[in-house]
Amino acid sequence: PVINFSPGPAKLPESVLERAQKEMLNFNNTGVSVMELSHRSSDFTRIITTTENNLRKLLNIPDNYRVLFLQGGGTGQFSAIPLNLLSLKPGQTADYIVTGSWSAKAAQEAEKFGKVNLVIPKVKKYTDIPEPETWNLNPEASYVYYCANETIHGVEFQYIPETNGVPLIVDMSSNILTRQLDISKFGAIFAGAQKNIGCAGVTLVIIREDLIGKALPICPIIFDFKVQVGNNSLYNTPPTYSIYIMGLVFEWILAQGGVPEMEKKAITKSTMVYDMVDSSNGFYVCPLSKGCRSRMNVPVRIGAPEGDEAMEKKFLEEAEKNKLISLKGHRSVGGLRISLYNAVTVEETQVLVKFMKEFMDRYRK
Ligand code: PLP
């Protein structure tokens, strides 16, 4: 069988796909597929309610936080966040901690609607997170924004930034439900589903109640958190099938032992890969500082420091012959990228590490 290390849309647990297949033509004896159910039917209401309740259980979401299931992806939230939250303070300024391409894109989008303060200096290469003592945080900012895991560069925060009371907004598209979290530290959390929690099409937003209701007048209605909260994410037709798949993934995570178990596995899997890289005497190189290495996306170059592209191509070809797929680095950084989301097992990671070792032994000069 193929082992899929895709950065997203990514591997789903086999049991989730099998269950979806089993229920495909006749969901819960309704005689129809989930895709064909009205979003206002009692069957779909049960799906969305159970999905939310299971997420609340998994993340210990406090009662003063609301959960939304929206469309538009992570990129939609790059716009929705400033449109809803810039006016929390009269200056309509937001702080952005840019540590990779995704937070850079979010900051660029926010500039359309208000003033953006870059908390850390612009860099050419994203391989590090400067010490918080050096950050230029604005106490008058409406919010502070960051990306918890930069999927392309593999920069992951190992801590939650301190903002002295300014609401903290986070993009967790590629690491939600992979580490334990104190939700009360955040103003809002958002995440596209297609990496750790389902298939593309649905975007999760978890937001503290008191931040809702301040949208700019130009905010499109489907992105207005107040409207969506008031309608339990059913102001318009939500991505029903993607919500159903997300619900199956939440049940799977609960059955596995919840977030602590996902976190334990993420540490095991990523440590295996980093140990392989670090013990390769420079054959494999991970450009990141150790303090911000992602457990989800491991960027690797063969042949430091710029990468030996011919060798990397050979690696990808041979990996594919061995049914290890989607290991190519993002086009903007090159090299390899090993994505280790929740559905990738420890055993599958072992297969990859063994392949890396064999490849190295074969080609090391
Ligand atoms: N944020 C992060 C961290 C991502 O990895 C991605 C996509 O890969 C996005 C945002 C953009 O998400 P979408 O493609 O759902 O708009």
Residue showing tokens 């069988």: 1
Give the residue-averaged pLDDT of 236-240.
Answer: 98
Residue nearest to atom 10 of ligand 1 (CA): 74
| Annotated catalytic residue 171 | yes
CA 253 – ligand 1 centroid, Å: 22
CB 43 within 8 A of CB 244: no
- Record the tokens describing residue 276, joined without a space: 């392989």
> Residue 344 region, left (φ>0) first, then alpha (ψ -120 to 50), else beta?
beta
Is the Cβ atom of 297 under 6 angstroms away from ligand 1? no
| 135 part of the active site | no
- 243, two tokens: 């919500």
Q: pLDDT tens digit string along 294-334?
A: 999 999 999 876 789 999 999 999 999 999 999 999 999 99
Q: Which residues pair with 149 in a beta bridge?
A: 156
The number of the ligand 1 atom at minimal distance from the alpha carbon of 7 is 8
Confidence of residue 276 (pLDDT cuts 50, 70, 90): very high
| Catalytic residue status for 122 | no
> What's the Cα-to-Cα distance from 216 to each of 208, 212, 255, 260, 307, rounded to whole Å?
18, 11, 41, 38, 46
pLDDT tens per residue, range 37-87: 999 999 999 999 999 999 999 999 999 999 999 999 999 999 999 999 999
ipTM above 0.95, yes or no: yes
The model's pLDDT over 95-122, given as tens digits with 9 standing for 90+, comes to 999 999 999 999 999 999 999 999 999 9
Predicted model pTM: 0.98
Does the CB atom of residue 78 touch ligand 1 within 6 A?
no
User: From the candidates 11, 102, 252, 265, which is the catalytic residue?
Assistant: 102
pLDDT value of position 365: 79
Task: Supply the residue whose CA is at minimum distance from atom 2 of ligand 1.
Answer: 173
Contact criterion met (CB below 8 Å) for 343 and 10: yes
Asked whether 107 lines ligand 1 (CB < 6 A), one says no
Tokens representing 58 are 């998994």
Q: Say which of 171, 224, 269, 328 is annotated catalytic.
A: 171
CB of 246 closer than 8 Å to CB of 95: no
pLDDT, averaged across the chain: 97
Can you give the pLDDT at residue 359? 97
> pLDDT tens digits, residue range 165-196?
999 999 999 999 999 999 999 999 999 999 99
